[in-house]
Amino acid sequence: MKIIRKLIAVPLVFVLLHVLAAEPTEQSVSPDAALATLNEGNKRFVDAKMSSSKPTAERRAATAQSQHPFAIIVGCADSRTSPEIIFDQNIGDLFVVRDAGNLVDDYELGSIEYAVEHVGTRLIVVLGHARCGAVQAALEAATAPGHVAAIVRDIQPAVQAAKGKPGDLLVNAIHENAREVADKIRKKLQVGDLASQVKVVSGYYDLDTGKVEWDKQ
Ligand SMILES: [Zn+2]
């Protein structure tokens, strides 16, 4: 019985190692082309000219077996900031990672690395947004009850950096937070040689106009 198990286990291990060692997926779309597609979609959204037939059964069928999203979006969990809607995209277009305050830690970084290495995505967008409750909470206190404490703790550096700058403190802190998260991704992302192909940008979504503005990179 032991021998049979070994006979099965060896080929399984070989197959698994082979899969893990496979060449990373080639890029689906260049970062600049991906950014242009996001801008076009956001313009349709701002102008209330969104594509009317999403999601289509054809698109669902086309992506059911494999995905090649052209952009990774690190966004806030805020219900008003759904990337597929504000960029007017479809099923399979965006690889979305969301949590309150658009922060990244190990789970999020691992998700992003997966998208770069295995589904060919090269553009990473960190998207802050107007009146972000997480940043507002971090402005009001350095700690909070329960697990919200981790969120306000990790936004503190952005709050401190924004203090004393001209303009609205909350808006500045939201911009700063998105920029700092983008920097963290640049520093911590582990994608080997693919790093040179990856572009990380940060931006700000205006809840009133629907427009996304990009930070100077
Ligand atoms: Zn938010």
Cα 181 to ligand 1 centroid, rounded to whole Å: 13
Cα 81 to ligand 1 centroid, rounded to whole Å: 8
Cα 152 to ligand 1 centroid, rounded to whole Å: 12
Cα 141 to ligand 1 centroid, rounded to whole Å: 16
Predicted pLDDT of residue 25? 67
HEC profile of the chain: CHHHHHHHHHHHHHHHHHHHCCCCCCCCCCHHHHHHHHHHHHHHHHCCCCCCCCCCHHHHHHHCCCCCCCEEEEECCCCCCCHHHHCCCCCCCEEEEECCCCCCCHHHHHHHHHHHHHCCCCEEEEEEECCCHHHHHHHHCCCCCCCHHHHHHHHHHHHHHHCCCCCCHHHHHHHHHHHHHHHHHHHHCCCHHHHHHCEEEEEEECCCCCCEEECCC
Predicted pLDDT of residue 26? 76
Predicted pLDDT of residue 4? 47
Per-residue pLDDT in tens (0 to 9) along the chain, 217 residues: 444 454 444 444 434 433 333 445 677 799 999 999 999 999 999 999 998 767 778 889 999 999 999 999 999 999 999 999 999 999 999 999 999 999 999 999 999 999 999 999 999 999 999 999 999 999 999 999 999 999 999 999 999 999 999 999 999 999 999 999 999 999 999 999 999 999 999 999 999 999 999 998 7
Predicted pLDDT of residue 24? 52
Residue 126, strand partner residues = 74, 202
Predicted pLDDT of residue 17? 37
Predicted pLDDT of residue 51? 87
